[in-house]
Amino acid sequence: MKVDISLRDLQRSLLSVRRQLEATGLDWLRLTIRRNVSRGRASLCAVIRDQSKASSLAGQGFKVTVRGDGFLCRAPEITLLDLSNLDFAFPYPRLFPLRYWDFLKENLPHLLRDISAVVGTPVVMITGGARECQIRISGIDRHALKLIRGQLLETAKRGLSTKEPLVRGRPLIENQPITLCRKIVRVRLRHLRDEYSRFIRTNSRKYFKLYTCKSVVHHPVWQEVRALGHEFIFNLHDGTPYGFGFMQSTGISSRTHFVEIHHGPDPYELFRRRAVGRPFTLNPARSLIRPVVIDRSVSGRALAHTARVVNSSLSLALLPKSRAAIRAASYIVFNGKLFRACVVPTADPEWFKGLYLRSVET
């Protein structure tokens, strides 16, 4: 498969964002590949000490975390392929995602080296960590990353077979505008936003998914999930579109709860007025009835920690990225289908390929 990447648009986009970053006082050359030792993950980031510069970078799409020696500013990232949640906007042959996976694994490292050399700023493949079924890249400009993703996918699509039966995916995506949701969803979300505003700084809402969420994840799988328990617990903030999507799909409101429990350092500390200090919407004096903790899961640590805090023996990993995430869960939702976690062959390093094929079985 011949790869043809046009670099002119990438150069223009990356040069523009480099100038913006330099205007904030951050030399883009200080961005380096750093490895998170605890998670075994390497990505593109910089450590700076100035809080105002860190806030400015957050506005440029960097993810900023407070740490002992200043602020860890992680460059924007984008997913090229995620077998746990295929969101292709076109019908595709059943084996196309697996061929595309092999193509990216073989070609992406040297392609990104060539792109970085031409555009003059690093674009890297994120390596290590627990993302076993997902390929992501990192760079200083999200728009440029989208250009790379689109051109790679177009290259791969040229070789699509017209003879194989086609599959149309059922990904968990934000597909139902909140303005078109049930009244109980809109009222509950408005109330939650009002309550949470007491904990964050003025003008910081744009950094919280609770406020930036415009659509929810409305999906048939939630009807199967509702049979797993009686009460359902979602984690803010990334869980906002899933929790309210569950409410929209099932009509269950009073038994749907939202908590804020961090397994590691609070990634939102920079934008807080004060700590939340409790699981937020749960009443600590009331015992939960057959609660199910539901969260997106990469390593499984955050999901397991949340389940321990709320004393739940049932957990559901949404779009799990690793064998560890599956082992930490009772159930998983993989590529739009519900599975018992125990049926996944986690001894197999390429467990995700077989699970993907099972997810597209008719």
* pLDDT tens by residue, 293-333: 999 999 999 999 999 988 899 999 999 999 999 999 999 99
Determine whether 153 is exposed, middle or buried from the number of CB atoms within 10 Å of its CB (0-12, 13-18, 19+).
middle
Task: Record the tokens describing residue 155, joined without a space.
Answer: 């290259």
Q: What angle do CA 241, 246, 251 make, to 5 degrees?
A: 130
- 3-class SS at 177? strand
Q: Where do the structural domains in the chain lie, given as residue ranges?
A: 8-167, 176-359
Residue 17, phi then psi, degrees to nearest 5: -75, -30
State the SS3 of 187-224: HHHHHHHHHHHHHECCCCHHHCHHHHCCEECCCCHHHH
Q: Which tokens belong to 230?
A: 């009686």
pLDDT-derived band at 17 (thresholds 50, 70, 90) equals low
Question: Tell me, what's the pLDDT at 22?
Answer: 64
Is residue 275 scored above 80 in pLDDT?
no
Say if residue 110 is preceded by a cis peptide, omega within 30 of 0: no
At 319 the three-state DSSP class reads coil
User: H or E stretch including 301?
Assistant: helix 301-309
Write the CA distances from 89 to 98, 148, 173, integer angstroms: 17, 17, 11
pLDDT of 122? 80
**Do residues 354 and 348 touch, judged by C-beta distance below 8 A?**
yes
Q: What are the CA-CA distances from residue 257 to residues 187, 229, 290, 294, 349 (Å)?
A: 14, 13, 13, 10, 35
- Residue 334 neighbours by CB under 8 Å, 6+ apart: 84, 319, 320, 355, 356, 359
Residue 49: HSE in the Cβ half-sphere, 13 Å Cα cutoff: 1
Strands 331-334, 314-318: pairing kind: parallel
Q: Looking at residues 261-278, what average pLDDT do you find?
A: 78
Average pLDDT score over residue span 99-104 = 92
The per-residue pLDDT for 297 is 94
Architecture of domain 176-359: 3-Layer(aba) Sandwich (3.40)
Over range 90-97, report the average pLDDT. 91
Q: Quick one: tokens of 346?
A: 């986690």
What global pTM score does this model have?
A: 0.88
pLDDT of residue 68: 74
- Asked if residue 37 has pLDDT above 50, the reply is no
Quick check: 28 pLDDT over 50?
A: no
pLDDT of residue 15: 67
